[in-house]
Structure formats: C-alpha cells, structure tokens
Amino acid sequence: MPPRLNIIVPVKRVIDYAIKPRVNSAKNIVETNGVKFSLNPFCEIAVEEAIRLRESKKDLVESITLVSAGSAKAQDALRSGLAMGADKATLIECPGIDDAKSLSLEPLAVAKLLKAYIDKEGANLVILGKQAIDDDSNQTGQMLAGLLNWPQATNASNVAVDDDGIVSVTREVDGGSETLSAPLPIVITTDLRLNVPRYTKLQDIMKAKKKKTDKLTPSDLGVDIAPRLEVVSLSDPPKRLGGSKVDSVDSLISKLKDVGAI
Amino acid sequence: MYPEIIRDPRFGELTQADIEYFKSILPESSILQDDQDLSGYNIDSMRKYNGQSRLVLKPRSTEEVSKIMKHCGERKLAVVPQGGNTGLVGGSVPVFDEIVISLSNLNKIRSFDEVSGIIVADAGCILEATDMFLAEHGYIFPLDLGAKGSCHIGGNVATNAGGLRLLRYGSLHGSVLGVEAVMADGTIVNGLGKLRKDNTGYDIKQLLIGSEGTLGVITGVSVLCPKRSKVMNVAFFGLDSYEKVQKAFVKAKSDLGEILSAFEFMDRESQDQVAQFSELRRPLDEQHNFYVLVETSGSNRSHDEEKLQEYLEGLMEAEIIDDGVLAQDETQMKNIWTWREGIPESLARTGGVYKYDVSIPLEDLYLMVEDCRAKLVEKGYEIGTEESNIVNVVGYGHLGDGNLHLNVAVKSYSKDVEHALEPWVYEWIQKRQGSISAEHGLGFAKRPYLKYSKDQSMINLMKQVKNVYDPDGIMNPYKYI
C-alpha cells in the first residue's frame, strides 16, 4: 500500500479567461469594476487532476483541500473547486488585498503562506496551476517546492502514482515529452494538456454548500505579505492598425518600401 | 435545375445595354459577371439551391439601389435581394437568371441613441458586428442566431428571423421601429421611424418585415435594442422524457420569470450527432433521452443566482431532471452553447439535411419527431445503418417559443426520401393547426406548402398585396407566394 495522498490544491480567482482585460485610465491597475471573475483555468485543471487521482484508485486519496489567498471574494474560487469535488477549503484572507490590488500579492508571499499552511496542516502532494492568467508569473509552485525542500515537477501533462508511492510526471518539452519520477512528497504544476475539467453538477453545487471553509490570516501563519515589487505602469497592447488592399504587385512593393519593411 | 418550374416569359432578358447602364451608375467593383465571382451568390448556404444569375450588383447606397430598381422595373428585369445568403429555404438565391442585388456594401451604422437604445443601420450590417458595436455601448441586438457571423440585419428583418433571443425580446415585428426600402419601381420609402408609439395610418413596415424581398429591397432598419444584461448563467440538464421537458419549462417560467432568456431542448440523437464531430467534453457524462439548455440574463448577480438556485433545487427535488450542470465561467457557457448551436453544422457534415422548422402546440411538439421516425421505418427506410441513406432523424429547438426543428440528415439528397417526408410532414402540421415555417420563412422551398398553414382567404389577401406593390412580379420571383 502506498501512503495515502493528502492533496493540497492552491487556487486563485482571476478575471475570466474569456474577458479582455482593460487598463484603467490612470494606467496603474487593470479595470476590475463589473468584470466577471472565475477560477483560474490552470487551477481548475489542478482540481480536476486531484479528483481524477481519487477516482483512479480506491483509497489512494485521503483528502483534497483547497487553499486560496486574497480578498474575501477568493471564496468564489474555493466554492467552484468544492463543487467540482474537493473535500474542504481554507481561505487565507489578506488585509489590503482587493480585486484591483490582487497583483500586489506576489508569488513569493503566496508560496510562503502555503509553506506555513502545509507545515501546520500537513500534506504530501501539492498540485497547482503552473501560472495564473492575471500576472502569468509561473513562480509560485517552484518557490513553494524550494521553501518546502520538496521535489518539483512542473508543467505536467500526465500524472501517475504507483503502488510504492512513486509519482511519475510527464511534461511536454521541446521535441517530445519527458517523464520525471520522485517519491512523495512532491509539488506538481499543471499544464493545459493535463486534462479537460468536468462541468460542475447541480448535485455537487448543493453538496458544496455544506462543505467546510476555514479562515486564516497571514498573521495567523506568521507570514509577511508586503509586496517587494512596485508596478511602475501598465499599458494596453498596441492597437492593431487596419490593413489596406493594393491592386498590383508594384504597389505592394512600393507600400512595403514606404513602411521600411523591405 | 427545376423541371417543374419555367422561367416567367414576362421578364426581360439581360442585355449588354443593361450592363452598360449599370456601369454608368455603379463603380466597376460593384458589378460582378465572372462565373467564379457569381457562384457564391448563385448557391445557397446548404448547397441545395443553385441559380443561374449572370449578374450581381453591389450598390453602396440607397440611391444606387433605387437607380437599379428603377431600371429593372422599366425593363421588367427580375431581381433577388441578397443579404448574407444564410437562409435555409432557398429564398436568397436566384432560381433562373434573376439579377442578384447584394446589400453587402451597404454596411454602415447610421446612428445610435444611447438613451433610447435605438440603432439605425444599413441593411448590410452583419448581425454579429452590429451586436458587438452595441455591446460597447452596453446594449444588445434583440436577435441572435447561429449564422450571426455572416447574416445581415436587413436580411434578418426581411425574413423576420426568430432565433435564440425571441423568448426574451420578442419578434422583430415588435422591435423593428422603422424600415427604409426601395420598391419595385425604384421609389425610396423612407420609413426609418424612431418612435415606439406611432398610430398614424397603416403600418406598412410590418408588411416588409418577413416579406423576403418579394415587395421591396430593405436598405436600412431602425431597431429598438434592449440593455445588455450584466449577469448571465447557463445550465444544462438531462431528462428522461419529453413530458418532463415541459414540466421543466413551466417551472422555469414561474421560478425564473423575467430573467429567463433561453429555453432550448435537444434530443439524444442530436447530441450524439454533435459529439461525433466535437472535441469538447460533453456537459453530462451519462446518456439522457432529452437535454435542456436554460439561460438566464439579469442585472443583479446574487438575485439571479438565488432564483436559479431555487429553480434548480426544485427540479432536482421533484425529480424532473436526472442530472445537470451549471457553467462556472464564460468559457463553459460558450462551450455548453455549442452543444445546441452546433447541431445544424454537425448534421450538415453527413451530406444533406431535410430541415423542417415548425411551430406546433407544445404538448405535441416532440411527437412529430417520433412519428417521423416511425413513418420512415414504415416506408422501409433504415435510420443510421451503414447502408441506409438516412443517417439521423433529430429534433431540437426553441421550446420556449413552441418551435421545433425536425432535421432528417441524409448522405445525399434523394427524391425518394423527399417524397417519403413531404407532404406527410405538412399534413401532420396542418392537422394540429401548426405553422410549416416558424422562423425560416417560405422562400423557394416552402412556397408550395403555404396552403397547409394559411387558408385560401388569407392567401388571396397576400396575393393582392403582392400585386399592389410589385405588379410585374419582378421582386424575388418563383418564391414565397
């Protein structure tokens, strides 16, 4: 019998993937007023993978716990994950963080919070999204593995746990795939191709209401979350200029010369 | 092409002099005569109806349309007004050598009033582009349908298109406030009213809405647009009987009330068909006999969610639905919608589709699909086997509007299958006082069957109207009536 898995899935609430973010007129934050937020897609994949591990083998998984850090609204992300099938959730409510300032909760602070949480509650597997689509940092998983001094397998496209508790993770690399294996405990970050998350069943949404959500604060965990970076400015990507049609090869060439392309 | 129909000898034949005249009023790029250029305008989107027009004109203004029509009227040259050419009844393509008047160059939004929500736009504006323009101002076009990326709003009005938002925003007969059109003799009718209330005389625009180009060419429309809802939710259920689908609908009306914006149903066969061609995960893992997509649009997230929650819990408790999912983000919402909107496309992949777009009292709606399958089997057809021509018989549609799409997908069109289905389908509808065309219109395909939905006195009145506005019959001939 392998050791039973106590899985922690850190999740983040971000601006919905389908929404085009807009920078505010002061050029210092991304507009969040009236914007739809959802569970970060990579986090959703991480929750799905934890549930699939449970479904793959009876008694393999002991518990799946979600953790999110941020404003009180991060509760939404936890609720989505609970409805997908996680067992319980913990919200680390960070004072001074709201939708507009969510980027000032930096990867290192989140990794420290998670490290402190795991030291306190225990776990032998962390599955998290490789990055959040708001800041695209792709750092939290790696930093957490470093702080915990656990092995890490990033950008997973397949995850398997054998009877001896050895975890094999396949990752897509240039020119093919690479498989890493390591004993528990381990930190795994998920790539897009790992799985397709399930839709949330109505029954599970109702059941999720009865599931427990604990609350903690950074000071409960003894972590300082003060940002170390300063956002100097934000700007929208340059607007695409409209194209134009030309009626002959000669005029095409002269146009290209005009703009200095040839 | 169509042996049973002959070209109307009253119509003039296109001559070089006509072309020269058109060249004098239109730029060269607005006149198409090449076979290659013409083919897309001659054939419909289902590749079922193919005309032989030798000329496509693409006017850039209402005045240009007027000059074209004046000339055609004098010369008795028959014309087909054409929008995005996405119609499903062969109404937008020529039958013989009618001149195609494409509205695609008339594509400007003329004005938009932020307070009233009234948009005035050229007929050739693409529906999706118009809706995106409105979205920037917080409004929504009161019509949405699968072909939104290509269809024109003028064509939508000319065919009185129904679509996915009808349940919420009503028919175009209500939301279109004004129509600008060019009549058969070139007269410009300036009816671009921007008033909600106007009881002064006959409401002529109502005749143009849904006239399918048989009375005049619509060149501009003014439409009252509702505010775009801030909050949307999409749920998808599996149910085991059509009876339960109806129960879920009744409950949706009472529990969701004013936030209900779509109630679409689909049978198992239609979903299996989509699954064959879709790479997306199915919303529900297990099989069900029926599926329902419910969409809500409202203004207050917690209020909407509370209502929806109560509705869904009620459905589960009463065991009306077997299973269901609720979209958690925009991507899931869009993906769930593809399971409804992707049905026609997945059917088209088999070869050909006999489409019946019918309106029948709700209780009998699905019986039609079951009877149709039985009828085909009785006539000796197999459905969905390797050898059989008939691939699938599916039913789906806008349950909220009493509108069923019965689709028979075949490997290739055959007279045989057609005769097995028609006029049986129409007689079946007539018996239940239904409509043989709920939202697709009459066009070329349904013209012979009008009598199954309208009695002779009504048809006579329609013919009188046609004769008044188009005495020479040059507007979109061989169709409609």
**Rounded to whole angstroms, how far apart are CA atoms A188 and A9?**
10
Instruction: Calculate how close chain A gets to B341, using CA atoms only, in Å.
Output: 18
- Amino acid at the residue B266: M
Instruction: Calculate how close chain B gets to A120, using CA atoms only, in Å.
Output: 31
Share of chain B above pLDDT 70, in %: 100
**Rounded to whole angstroms, how far apart are CA atoms A171 and A179?**
6
Residue B202, pLDDT above cutoff 70: yes
The predicted structure's pLDDT at residue B279:
85
Joined together, the tokens standing for residue B97 give 């050598």
Fold of A5-229: Rossmann fold (3.40.50)
Query: Is the backbone of residue B108 left (phi > 0), alpha (psi -120 to 50) or beta?
Result: beta
* pLDDT tens, residue by residue, B390-422: 999 999 999 988 999 999 999 998 999 999 999
**Rounded to whole angstroms, how far apart are CA atoms B207 and B157?**
11
The predicted structure's pLDDT at residue A2:
65
The predicted structure's pLDDT at residue A207:
87
Residues paired with residue A125 on neighbouring β-strands, in sequence order: A7, A186
Among B279, B329, B336, B337, the residue to mutate for chain A (most A Cβ within 10 A) = B329
Please report which confidence band the pLDDT of residue A98 belongs to, taking 50, 70 and 90 as the band edges. Answer: confident
Q: Per CB distance under 8 Å, which residues of A are interface residues toward B?
A: 16-19, 34, 36, 38-39, 41, 80, 83, 196, 198-203, 205-206
Cβ B42 vs Cβ B80: under 8 Å: no
Sheet holding B56-57, edge to edge: B31-32, B56-57, B99-102, B79-82
Instruction: Calculate how close chain A gets to B312, using CA atoms only, in Å.
Output: 7
B421 touching A, CB under 8 A? no
Domain boundaries, chain A: 5-229
End-to-end alpha carbon distance in chain A: 67
End-to-end alpha carbon distance in chain B: 20
User: B330 and A36: CB-CB below 8 Å?
Assistant: yes
Joined together, the tokens standing for residue B367 give 């019986």
- Residues of B within 8 A of A198 (CB-CB) are 281, 285
Which CATH code, of 1.10.287.70, 3.30.479.20, 3.40.50.1820, 3.30.70.2190, is assigned to B231-336?
A: 3.30.70.2190
A202-210 and B301-317 helices, crossing angle to 10°: 110
Residues whose CB is less than 8 angstroms from the CB of residue B166 and which lie 6 or more positions away in sequence, other chains included: B143, B398, B400, B401, B439
**Rounded to whole angstroms, how far apart are CA atoms B288 and A250?**
62
Mean pLDDT value of segment A235-248: 81
Please report which confidence band the pLDDT of residue A25 belongs to, taking 50, 70 and 90 as the band edges. Answer: confident
Residue A231, pLDDT above cutoff 90: no
Check residues A243 and B355 and name the one with the higher pLDDT.
B355
Residues whose CB is less than 8 angstroms from the CB of residue B383 and which lie 6 or more positions away in sequence, other chains included: B373, B376, B377, B390, B391, B392, B393
**Rounded to whole angstroms, how far apart are CA atoms B324 and B341?**
19
Sheet holding A88-93, edge to edge: A176-183, A166-173, A152-161, A186-190, A125-129, A5-10, A61-70, A88-93, A213-216
Mean pLDDT of chain B: 94
Residue B132: how many CB atoms within 10 A of its CB? 12
User: B326 and A36: CB-CB below 8 Å?
Assistant: no
Residue among B295, B294, B276, B284 at smallest CA distance from B238: B284
**Rounded to whole angstroms, how far apart are CA atoms B353 and B414?**
11
User: A203 and B283: CB-CB below 8 Å?
Assistant: no
Joined together, the tokens standing for residue B416 give 């045989």
Joined together, the tokens standing for residue A213 give 């959500």
Residues whose CB is less than 8 angstroms from the CB of residue B263 and which lie 6 or more positions away in sequence, other chains included: B167, B249, B252, B292, B293, B294, B295, B398, B399, B400
Residue B296: how many CB atoms within 10 A of its CB? 24
**Nearest residue on chain B to A13, alpha-carbon basis:** B329
The predicted structure's pLDDT at residue B120:
97
Please report which confidence band the pLDDT of residue A1 belongs to, taking 50, 70 and 90 as the band edges. Answer: low
State the complex-level ipTM.
Answer: 0.75
B370 touching A, CB under 8 A? no
Residue A111: how many CB atoms within 10 A of its CB? 23
B231-336 matches B350-440 in fold? yes
Check residues A211 and B69 and name the one with the higher pLDDT.
B69
Instruction: Calculate how close chain A gets to B86, using CA atoms only, in Å.
Output: 27
Please report which confidence band the pLDDT of residue A125 belongs to, taking 50, 70 and 90 as the band edges. Answer: very high
Mean pLDDT value of segment B88-107: 96
B329 touching A, CB under 8 A? yes
CATH architecture assignment, domain B350-440: 2-Layer Sandwich (3.30)
- Residues of A within 8 A of B330 (CB-CB) are 16-19, 36, 38
Domain boundaries, chain B: 109-224, 231-336, 350-440
Mean pLDDT value of segment A227-243: 85
- Residues of B within 8 A of A200 (CB-CB) are 325-326, 328
Q: Which of B284, B324, B331 sits opposite A18 (nearest CB)?
A: B331
User: B324 and A206: CB-CB below 8 Å?
Assistant: no
* pLDDT tens, residue by residue, A51-79: 999 999 889 999 999 999 999 999 989 99
In angstroms, the Cα distances linking B135 to A236, B117, B128 are: 20, 11, 10
Q: What beta strand segments (E) does A106-165 contain?
A: 125-129, 152-161
- Residues of A within 8 A of B329 (CB-CB) are 16-18, 36, 38-39
Does domain B109-224 fall under CATH 3.40.50.360? My reply is no
B327 touching A, CB under 8 A? yes
- Residues of A within 8 A of B312 (CB-CB) are 202, 205
Sign of the C-alpha dihedral computed for residues B340, B344, B349 and B350 taken in this order: positive
Residues paired with residue B221 on neighbouring β-strands, in sequence order: B121, B179
Please report which confidence band the pLDDT of residue B1 belongs to, taking 50, 70 and 90 as the band edges. Answer: low
* pLDDT tens, residue by residue, B13-26: 999 999 999 999 99
Joined together, the tokens standing for residue B298 give 């409202």
Helix residue ranges per DSSP H, B221-348: 242-256, 268-277, 301-317, 330-341, 343-348
The predicted structure's pLDDT at residue B329:
87
Cβ B120 vs Cβ B113: under 8 Å: no
